[in-house]
Structure 1
Amino acid sequence: MPDLDYEYGTKAGRGSFWFHDSGGEQHVMQRSEERILTTHVGSLPRSSELTQLMFEHQEGHGDDDTLWGTVQKDVDAIVERQVAAGVAIPSDGEMGKPGFSNYLRYRLDGLGGETDPWVFTDLATVPELQAFYFEDEAAGHIHMPACEGELRYRGHEYVQRDIANLKAAMERHGVAEAFIPAASPGIIAYHMTNRHYPSYEEYLFAAAEAMREEYKAITDAGLLLQLDCPDIGCVAHTVGWMTPIVEKLGLRKFVELHIEALNHGVRGLPADQIRMHLCWANYEAPHQFDIPLSDVLEPVLKKALPNGILFEAANPRHEHEWEIFEDLKVPDEKVMIPGVIDTTTNYVEHPRLVAQRIERFARAIGRERVIAGSDCGFGTFVGFGAVFENVVWMKLDALAQGAAIASERLWSRTGSAA
């Protein structure tokens, strides 16, 4: 690695943004104006103490005071550790959630019971892998609900706790900008069987309307909102309760319907304060049936309101797809956040490899509109993750080092184009 005079961490990194709080100061999404900024998809490994407390909470016999006190402590610790690793735009690690979507059991009236089973078609071709992923203790605690009544948001106390914990940690550790993930309307409809609404469309848009309260709370607090949208990428290789709807609409119309519902949920909210995460699900498997990135990204860039777009670009099934950006027109307002570290393998990417991945996108799209991210989260559900905790931090260190190398190549010492 060259001898660079870059400092890592949010305090040293200056991008194009105005931070604001609930007082309402104008906000502009960060861009990599002086160096390649870094972020990730959101979830991080929970401590063993928090994992056990969350399991007990899900089973209905935990002590809430102990749980939420531990969450507050762990959010502070996880933000501090992200800053130390050089993550410019950190998250709360989703410490206060049992998973990226099943947390809504506690925040939406109308959810209950258990959803119908669904399968990834690639895993069905390797049943040993399916058993590996879904037959351990953590998988047994996912408890994905179904829709059994009218959806209404009741998670105000939860989301305000998330916001307060993150903002306190930001202030304590000198963080200028951070994000909170939230489930998209589409992942609710995609994951959670409809047993109430007369049509799929009514269910989907009811989810968007209900979740709008969470989305608005996050943006009103001056934080970035990340909408997790694996429903858009996973539609082609999932079989479940929604399969007849997909077959009726066709892949393209299904994706466009989900984008329309997402737009409904964030209507009137600042697009510069919202980013969406696209993926093909966070598990190691063949992925031979994945829909191509171009089929996902083209309608998203054309129709979706959020200005930030995160997508997988490091895993061996999709890394080659950076080539589409040589011809794809990316709207000027969009900030692209490709994954340049994988979240399903314990290999630690060499910083030079990370830099190469970043530079491909920077040269095709423009360096200011590229932020370096991860393929997916490292702790999708509590206790559920392929990468060991120590390796997660090695990977995030490599992410920051690779971004510094790419920055040295893309900017000269005086700030002009390299």
Structure 2
Amino acid sequence: MTRVLTTHVGSLPRSQDVVDFIFAREREEPYDAAAFDACMTMAVSDTVKKQKDAGIDIVSDGETSKISYATYVKDRYSGFSGDSPRNAPADLKMFPSFLQRIADSGGTPQYVRPMCTGEVRSKGQDELQKDIANLKSAMTEHGISRGFMNAASPGVISLFLQNDYYKSREAYLAALADAMKEEYETIVAAGLDLQLDCPDLALSRHMLFTDLSDEEFVNVAQMHVDALNHALSDVPQDRVRVHICWGNYEGPHLCDIPMSKMFDTLMATKSRYVLFETSNPRHGHEWSVFRDRKADIPEDKVLVPGVVDTTTNFVEHPELVAQRLKRFTDIVGTKRVIAGSDCGFGTFAGFGAVDPAIAYAKLAVLSEGAASVPGE
């Protein structure tokens, strides 16, 4: 009998030792490189063990060594310098007192976001190879057979590290796709699944493209997908996961473009697994989009709905998790559904709305709820 497998979006809370090392590097302060590497190795082992203990089948390294899921590329690729303009999401701008409250509480992470000011080229795969080695070693140590590693999509890089060098957005995306291609292929060649983080396909609508109509934004998003698919041209589709989201933050989210308008874009990605939000109050109803468009879901797609929210310290009841999953297994069957989280629990190093211990409690109820969904 096939049961519903479990995974999550990728990033997990880092220990304080890890955070201290990452920010020392981020601020270009002196640090012991050998001690940094040893700390990351130990932390990844601990992170994988915690995922196993929580019942997670398909694990990650928690993005332990990365400052964030997108801006880490500035450390691994040339062509970035200076600083990119900060732009708050449009929904937060609608409520300036709430935006100020977030800023005053320290809820806005401070890290470097350089612009693209030169040709984007890889500095080599050394840091990536260390991440791969740490994850594979931890999986072997703890008896885990399947893992995935996150990588930034060309589109999300262009969202956070904006272009001040290439003649057009299309040219910048093409350069990023060419540069990131080797990273994607290296992850898959190592025996890991590849996850592409693509909030540019939804979040950027109310961050960077607020002056466009929804229809115009969909055209931009398709351009991003075309660049991504080019970068994945030599990667087997069945090894690829794509995650779309509207921003991993507590807020009104009144400006989020609906899933109904991004459905075709998401399905057009060269991926077998599609991860998306369906737990938070703004997107919990959108399971019905998949029901109503069942005929338009390619037969090779596996749905990975988020069944726990990553912006609240409420721990969902396992029966609620099972109910959320059953909506999707009723559409495509148990074999084509994997239980996931809405977003990551440690999107930025040292910052996260959810307490680290509660994050793993959420993963445990994710697994408990998934186990109660009837198999096939």
TM-score band w.r.t. shorter chain: over 0.9
Q: What's the counterpart of residue 404 of structure 1?
A: 371
Q: Does 1:352 align with 2:331?
A: no
Structure 1 residue 126: deviation in Å?
Answer: 2.0
Distance 1:282 1:156 in 2: 28
Structure 1 residue 294: deviation in Å?
Answer: 1.7
Structure 1 residue 208: deviation in Å?
Answer: 0.7
Structure 1 residue 129: deviation in Å?
Answer: 3.1
Distance 2:121 2:36 in 1: 25
Q: What's the counterpart of residue 93 of structure 1?
A: 62
Q: Which runs of 5 or more structure 1 residues have no equivalent in the other structure? A: 1-32, 412-416
Structure 1 residue 108: deviation in Å?
Answer: 1.0
Q: What's the counterpart of residue 161 of structure 2?
A: 192
Aligned residues: 373
Taking structure 1 as reference, are residues 313 and 247 closer, same or farther at Cα in structure 2, changes over 3 Å only?
A: closer
Taking structure 1 as reference, are residues 47 and 138 closer, same or farther at Cα in structure 2, changes over 3 Å only?
A: farther
- 3-state SS, counterpart of residue 196 of structure 2: strand
Contact 1:57 1:63 in 2 (8 A): no
Distance 1:139 1:113 in 2: 20
Structure 1 residue 247: deviation in Å?
Answer: 6.3
Q: How large is the RMSD of aligned CA atoms in angstroms?
A: 1.6
Contact 1:121 1:289 in 2 (8 A): yes
* TM-score, normalised with respect to structure 1: 0.86
> Which one-letter code corresponds to 2:357 in the other structure?
N
Equivalent position to 1:58, from 23, 26, 34: 26
Structure 1 residue 136: deviation in Å?
Answer: 5.8
Structure 1 residue 143: deviation in Å?
Answer: 1.3
Equivalent position to 2:238, from 252, 265, 272: 272
State, as a whole percentage, how many aligned pairs show the same letter. Answer: 43
Q: What's the counterpart of residue 73 of structure 2?
A: 104
Distance 2:85 2:185 in 1: 30
Q: Which runs of 5 or more structure 2 residues have no equivalent in the other structure? A: none
Equivalent position to 1:305, from 262, 267, 270: 270
Distance 1:220 1:44 in 2: 24
- 3-state SS, counterpart of residue 195 of structure 1: coil
Equivalent position to 2:303, from 336, 340, 351: 336
Taking structure 1 as reference, are residues 66 and 132 closer, same or farther at Cα in structure 2, changes over 3 Å only?
A: farther
Q: Does 1:380 align with 2:347?
A: yes
Structure 1 residue 133: deviation in Å?
Answer: 3.7
**Cα deviation digits, residues 214-265 of structure 1 (max 9, x gap):** 10110110100000000001132114xx666x56981121111011011011
Structure 1 residue 64: deviation in Å?
Answer: 1.9
Q: What's the counterpart of residue 218 of structure 1?
A: 187
> Which one-letter code corresponds to 1:298 in the other structure?
D
Q: What's the counterpart of residue 51 of structure 2?
A: 82
Taking structure 1 as reference, are residues 293 and 83 closer, same or farther at Cα in structure 2, changes over 3 Å only?
A: same
Structure 1 residue 299: deviation in Å?
Answer: 2.2
Structure 1 residue 114: deviation in Å?
Answer: 1.1
Contact 2:242 2:269 in 1 (8 A): no
Distance 2:52 2:109 in 1: 33
- 3-state SS, counterpart of residue 66 of structure 2: coil
- 3-state SS, counterpart of residue 58 of structure 2: coil
> Which one-letter code corresponds to 1:375 in the other structure?
D
Structure 1 residue 154: deviation in Å?
Answer: 1.4
Q: Does 1:324 align with 2:289?
A: yes
Contact 1:235 1:251 in 2 (8 A): no
Distance 1:288 1:137 in 2: 23
